[in-house]
Homo-oligomer: A and B are copies of this chain.
Amino acid sequence: MRVAILAHEKFPDRAKTALGVLRYADYDAVAVLDRETAGQRVNDFVPDVQDAPIYESMADLETDEVDALLIGIAPIGGGFEESWRADVRTALENGCDVISGLHYFLADDEEFAELAAENDCELRDVRKPSDDLTVSQGIADEVDAEVILTVGTDCSVGKMTVSMELARDAREAGYDAAVIPTGQTGIMIEGWGNPIDRVVSDFTAGAVEEMILEKGDEHDYLFVEGQGSIVHPAYSAVTCGILHGSMADKLVLCHDAGREAIHGYESFPLPDLSTYIDLYENLAAPVADSDVVAGALNTSSLEDDAAREAVDAYVDAIDVPATDVVRFDSETVLDALL
């Protein structure tokens, strides 16, 4: 699918979803829309992702050049910026689908709904949970695939990135691996998935199970994108539901080097790494034998030497193979997983 990625005035530094899509998605990115950096190219700013020209608006693209417009940024609060309306309108008039992870559902916008109907296009609000979700049956372990779940010491430690990197590296090494996306950006990258943090709480595990049952006999390995942390004061419910719903065979413990307290909840210090391993494994045990067999450390805040030292210390602390999968080679970690 050929996509244009809307990132007005925020590319590249404040366009996390756009960058995730350029880095990991299979889409053919035909353009980024950013009226501030228009005229330049993606690789002028970020060298190691898919390149594309940057345009001012959808009107700069040929009508038959693109299949979908993807909203690659989100203002605080997840609202729709009226300055984007012309681009969405043009996309729909040209027969393009529009993919959005905003809290504001495009399908509920009267003008967009009408245009989509007229032009036979789809408005895909990936943050809107499907209506047919229900409770887990406790059968995710019946699929053929080995299920690998990324679990974290906190939010924003890199679980989505680790899932994407490991699945990609596994595929490059010849394995049949897929990602089970559970969050907004993951869903945009993969083009499908349930936004687990938005489903009815009773359906948390069920919404993960449903995805594993759907894909589990088509692949040899599923990398499930984890969310939150099992000791997070606010988000642990989502983490727990994913842990039990996925019935994972193997866990990858993700951590951000130097993080000492729960992000945004600084009065809660992170427990020891060994405590996390015990908690995840012991909590999973009555439902599935899920062992922490590898680790992933986010060292993006460190220089090269310090990063290498931090990885070594992390391996010592958790006593399983680990690396920074973005910065270094992931071979030892993949060896432990596949």
Contact = CB atoms under 8 A, between A and B. Distances in A.
A328 interface: no
A137 interface: yes
Count chain B CB atoms within 10 A of each CB in A206, A236, A270, A279 and give the residue with the most. Answer: A236
B138 A267 contact: yes
A204 B237 contact: yes
A231 interface: yes
Contacts of A234: 135-138, 202, 205-206, 244-245
Interface stretch (A26-34, A107-115, A280-288): A280-288
A205 B231 contact: no
Interface in A98-121: none
A287 B275 CA distance: 13
Interface stretch (A45-53, A62-70, A144-152, A191-199): A191-199
A198 B270 CA distance: 30
Given A138-B268, A197-B201, A275-B286, A237 B241 contact: yes
A200 interface: yes
Contacts of A201: 196-201, 203-204, 237-238, 241
A189 interface: no
A24 interface: no
A283 B200 CA distance: 23
A119 to B, nearest CB: 32
A159 interface: no
A196 B244 CA distance: 19
A66 to B, nearest CB: 33
Given A138-B233, A233-B244, A286-B275, A200 B202 contact: no
Copies of this chain held together in the complex: 2
Interface string A168-202: 00000000000000000000000000001111111
A318 interface: no
Nearest to A232: B244
Contact of A233 (B197, B203, B205, B231): B205
Contact of A235 (B135, B196, B199, B232): B135
A103 to B, nearest CB: 11
A267 B205 CA distance: 17
Interface string A268-302: 10110001001100110111000000000000000
Contacts of A285: 271
Interface of A: 135-138, 196-206, 230-241, 243-245, 247, 262, 265, 267-268, 270-271, 275, 278-279, 282-283, 285-287
27 contacts: A135-B234, A137-B265, A138-B267, A196-B201, A197-B200, A201-B201, A201-B238, A201-B241, A206-B234, A231-B283, A231-B287, A232-B244, A233-B244, A233-B245, A233-B247, A233-B287, A234-B244, A236-B243, A237-B241, A239-B240, A268-B286, A271-B285, A271-B286, A275-B286, A278-B282, A279-B282, A282-B282
